[in-house]
Amino acid sequence: MRGYKAKSQGSNPWFGIFFGGLFTIFIIGGIFCGYLFYSSLREVVARAGLQTFVNVPIFRPRESDLPVPDWSRKERVNILLLGVDQRPQEVGPCRTDTMIVVTVDPATNTAGMLSIPRDLYVEIPGYGLNRINVAHFMGDRDNYPGGGPALAKKTVQYNLGVPIHYYIRINFQGFRDIVDALGGITVEVEGEIWDDKYPDENYGYMTIYIPAGVQQMDGEMALRYARTRHNGSDFVRLRRQQEVLFAIREKALSLDLIPRIPDLLRTMGYTVDTDLDPQEVLALAQIAPQIEKEEIKSGVIDETMAVSVILPDTGANVLYPLRDEIAEMVEEIFSSPAEGEE
């Protein structure tokens, strides 16, 4: 299996679970870790008396031509995590910086996540060929039914061949705020990072430096570590994002979060939105604790599954998908174990 396997924690009122999930998924990268983290906050939130607190403005109407999975019949559920490239002064359409598809199969108690590079050159239904991260921008710009998330979902579904039932979306400021509310995270940086073309908040560039070794990161530093493309490779960047996801999860699990919950809820309420409704979150929360460590798969569409190509008409550098190789990865992550393999 290309990629790595992640870890499941414990078991456990729906809001505690939902809070924990959104708390980790925002990071340009992996709702899956949110599901793993759900159970660890259930008892904390129960003790705080917040089980029924649902007045957080994150739920959005659902726009999709897909039927909602009937989880009582143990149907597979696929969710698209969107991290949007939205600067503080921006109010219009924006592109996605990261797209991750998470899958949960209640019938077999298995799960997985797949990271998609933003420059992957694919068919956007109704718009033609373009980078996959443009789908969200076009959907918001053109008032597509359901907006950017709906067109992003449809694009991923069309190109991966798997249904995308729901989305969760978060922006960069939400990421910074939540990491800071945690008191920062600890990440082991494999090699030093020097990037003199890191995008700043004013459409220019700045220089960042992150030394190798174990680093204590605040929200800004963690965002820089997750976003930088100092070596020119989006594949390495996606793997760093997964590292940050797990660092956030580990830090959250080590804390008494009760005093931090009000600030975290306010942060999430205005930086996260989803078309999952509370009952669906509750259903997922009940499934997550049943998934064992060895039954969770994760992977990245990387250099073995995409080729860098310069488009002759525009000169743009994109990633041309090797569809047979991607299909193999999709099959591995999104299919249920064959009978006799469990």
Residues 278-295: what's their mean pLDDT?
67
Q: What value does the mean pLDDT take over residues 249-262?
A: 64
Query: Which residue do the tokens 């963690």 mark?
Result: 222
Q: Per-residue pLDDT tens for 188-222?
A: 998 899 998 888 877 788 999 999 999 999 999 99
Lowest mean pLDDT among 56-65, 144-153, 154-163: 56-65
The tokens for 50 are 């917040």
The three-class DSSP label of residue 95 is: coil
Band the pLDDT of 100: cuts 50, 70, 90.
confident
Alpha carbon distance 289, 295 (integer Å): 12
Among 25-39, 216-230, 250-264, which stretch is predicted with the lowest mean pLDDT?
25-39
Q: CA distances (Å), 179 to each of 126, 267, 340, in order?
A: 38, 11, 43
Kindly state the tokens that stand for 199: 């995008």
Q: What is the DSSP string of 158-181?
A: HHH-S---EEEEEEHHHHHHHHHH
Determine the 3-state secondary structure of 10 from DSSP.
coil
Top-confidence residue, 71 or 9: 71
Q: In the predicted model, is pLDDT for residue 25 greater than 80?
A: no
Predicted local confidence at residue 34, as pLDDT: 38
Question: Is pLDDT of 163 > 60?
Answer: yes
Q: Would you say domain 14-182+255-334 falls under CATH 3.30.420.590? A: yes
Kindly report the average pLDDT of the chain as a whole number.
75
What percent of the chain stands above pLDDT 90? 35
Could you read off the pLDDT of 65-91 as tens digits, one per residue? 677 776 666 788 899 988 887 766 667
Higher pLDDT, 252 or 212: 212
- Which pLDDT band holds residue 236 (cuts at 50, 70, 90)? confident
201 closest CA partner among 98, 97, 85 = 85
The pTM (predicted TM-score) of the whole model is 0.75
Ranges of each domain in the chain:
14-182+255-334
Using alpha carbons, list the distances in angstroms from residue 184 to 16, 180, 251, 259, 318: 21, 5, 8, 16, 34
Q: What is the pLDDT of residue 42?
A: 41
The pairing of strands 205-210 and 193-199 is: antiparallel
Tell me which residue of 202, 228, 175 sits closest to 90, measured CA to CA. 202
How much is the average pLDDT of 235-249?
80
288 — pLDDT class (breaks 50, 70, 90): low
Confirm if 108 and 295 have CB atoms less than 8 A apart: yes
Who wins on pLDDT, 230 or 9?
A: 230
- pLDDT > 80? residue 140: yes
Average pLDDT over residues 12-34: 35
Q: What is the pLDDT of residue 127?
A: 97
Higher pLDDT, residue 91 or 165: 165
For the stretch 247-259, what's the b/e string if a residue is b when 16 or more beta carbons lie within 10 angstroms of its beta carbon?
bbbebbeeeebee
Does 134 or 275 have the greater pLDDT score? 134
Residue 166 near residue 280 (C-beta atoms within 8 A): yes
Percent of the chain with pLDDT over 70: 64
